[in-house]
Amino acid sequence: MLCTVKSGGVLGIDGYKVDVEVNISQGLPQFITVGLPDTAVKESKERVKSAIVNSGFSFPLRKITVNLAPADIPKQGTLYDLPIAVGILGSAGLFNEKRLKEFAFVGELALDGSLRKIKGALPVAYGLKNSGVKNLILPEGNSSEASLVKEINVYGFSTLREIIDFLNGDLEKKPVSPEIDLSLSDYTKYPDFYEIKGQYTTKRCLEIAAAGFHNVLMVGSPGSGKSMMAKAFPSILPPMSFEEALQTTKIHSVAGILDDFIVRYRPYRNPHHTISDVALIGGGSFPKPGEVSLAHNGVLFLDEFPEFKRSSLEVLRQPMEDREVFISRATGRYRFPAKFQLIAAANPCPCGYKNDPSKECRCSNTEIRRYRNKLSGPIIDRIDLVSYVSGVSPEDLSKMNSGEKSEHIRERVIKAVEIQKKRFKETPITFNSEMTPSMIERFVKLENSAENALNTAAKKYSISARGYHRILKVSRTIADLEGSDIVKLKHIIEAINFRLSDELYS
Q: Are 244 and 297 in contact (CB under 8 A)?
A: yes
The answer to whether the CB of 212 falls within 8 A of the CB of 254 is: no
Q: Which is nearest to 343 in space by CA: 229, 183, 495, 186?
A: 229
What amino acid is encoded at 136 in this protein? L
DSSP 14: E
Domain map (residue ranges) of the chain: 2-167, 187-504
> What are the residue ranges of helices labelled H in 226-309?
226-232, 242-255, 277-281, 291-294
Closest-CA residue to 143 (of 169, 173, 170, 182): 173
The percent helix, strand, coil of the chain (3-state, each to 5) is 40, 20, 40
Find out if CATH 3.30.470.10 is the number for domain 2-167.
no
Stated pTM of the model: 0.91
CB 274 within 8 A of CB 140: no
Q: How far apart are CA 11 and CA 76, in angstroms?
A: 9
What does the pLDDT look like over 92-127, one tens digit per residue? 888 877 888 899 999 999 999 999 999 999 999 999
SS3 readout for 78-133: CCCHHHHHHHHHHHCCCCCHHHHCCCEECCEECCCCEEECCCCHHHHHHHHHHCCC
Query: Alpha-carbon distance 141 to 134, whole Å?
Result: 20
* Residue 91 Cα distances to 52, 88, 171, 334, 445, angstroms: 13, 5, 21, 36, 69
Give the whole-angstrom CA distance, residue 118 versus residue 379.
38
- The pLDDT of residue 185 is 65
CA distance 250 to 327: 18
- Can you tell me the distance from the alpha carbon of 175 to that of 442, in angstroms, rounded to the nearest whole number? 47
Q: What is the DSSP letter of 183?
A: G
pLDDT at 504: 44
- Say yes or no: domain 187-504 is CATH 1.25.40.20: no
**Which of 412, 360, 429 lies closest to 203, judged by CA?**
412
Question: What pLDDT score does 331 carry?
Answer: 73
**DSSP-assigned letter for residue 201:** H
Angstrom distance (rounded) from CA 345 to CA 388:
10
Cα dist from 501 to 301, 386, 388, 498, whole Å: 18, 6, 9, 7
Q: Could you say which residues of the chain have pLDDT below 50?
A: 502-506
Question: What's the pLDDT at 503?
Answer: 46
